[in-house]
Structure 1
Amino acid sequence: MGTVTPFPAARGQPLQIGFDRAELTRILDLYGRMVAAGHWRDYAIELGADAAIFAAFRRASERPEVRIEKRPALRNRQGMWSLTGEQGMVLKRGHDLGPVLAPVERRLMKIVEN
């Protein structure tokens, strides 16, 4: 009989961290609303060995205004999701994506008078 050799990622940590469909849909929905409001113009996605990062830019030549990071290694500690501001300071951390995106979604709210 032949020898079965497992894939390298099957033994331990995956080779690349990514967003699943529901997470990416939620992030891109927020991005679309921010573009429609005139706040953001460009984005970048970085898929690495330890983190997946979605960065949103006001202009393509600047630093990202916000970075949404998914770090599964922090799942049991502070939460795997973090929202980082333009200066590199962590604005929000959590176990779920929704509450982490709340400070950005709050910018879209407008007061409507009767």
Structure 2
Amino acid sequence: MGDLMRLEAYRRPARKSAKATYFTRTELNQLLSAYSQRVASGEWRDYAIDHRPGIAVFSVFRSTHERPLYAVAKRTAGKQPEYVVLSDHQRLARSSSLSECLRIFEKKLRVVV
């Protein structure tokens, strides 16, 4: 009839050096805490998490049909990860600590007259 062929033989071999980067549970708690505060105030409505070789990205959206307002990226090029906050390809914050980068989202007090 026919020969049995495995699909594994036709797939591209995976690069062993390129491992996907992920957020840890603690990092996700920090990201979702900042996200939930802005959702409660009505500013943000959706988020997405992407995992790629060498980088993990947490993107925030105003609505699901728009480009991301902000993206928090975790890069693992060296021993210690680096965190970057981006908005429209503009770097807003960069640090080796996620909590330090997330300070950019803290609301500043204003005088209301």
TM-score range, shorter chain: 0.7 to 0.9
| Residue in structure 2 matched with residue 89 of structure 1 by the alignment | 90
**TM-score normalised over the length of structure 1:** 0.76
* CA pair 45-67 structure 1, distance change in 2 beyond 3 A: same
Asked whether the 8 Å contact 1:40–1:59 carries over to 2, the reply is yes
Deviations 1:84-113 (Å, cap 9, x if unpaired)?
Answer: 01x21010100101111111123xx44589
Identity of aligned residues (%): 32
Going by fraction, where is helix more abundant, 1 or 2? Answer: 1
**TM-score normalised over the length of structure 2:** 0.76
What is the RMSD of the two structures over their aligned residues, measured on CA atoms?
2.1
Query: Which of residues 26, 34, 38 is equivalent to 1:22?
Result: 26
SS in 2 for 1:43: strand
| Residue in structure 2 matched with residue 68 of structure 1 by the alignment | 72
Structure with greater Cα Rg: 2
Matched positions, count: 97
Query: Which of residues 73, 80, 83 is equivalent to 2:82?
Result: 80
| Structure 1 segments unaligned to the other structure (5+ residues) | 1-11
| Residue in structure 2 matched with residue 46 of structure 1 by the alignment | 50
Deviations 1:53-84 (Å, cap 9, x if unpaired)?
Answer: 000000111110100000011566xx610000
SS in 2 for 1:18: coil
| Structure 2 segments unaligned to the other structure (5+ residues) | 1-15
Asked whether the 8 Å contact 1:75–1:95 carries over to 2, the reply is no
Letter in 1 for 2:89: G
| Residue in structure 2 matched with residue 58 of structure 1 by the alignment | 62
Going by fraction, where is strand more abundant, 1 or 2? Answer: 2
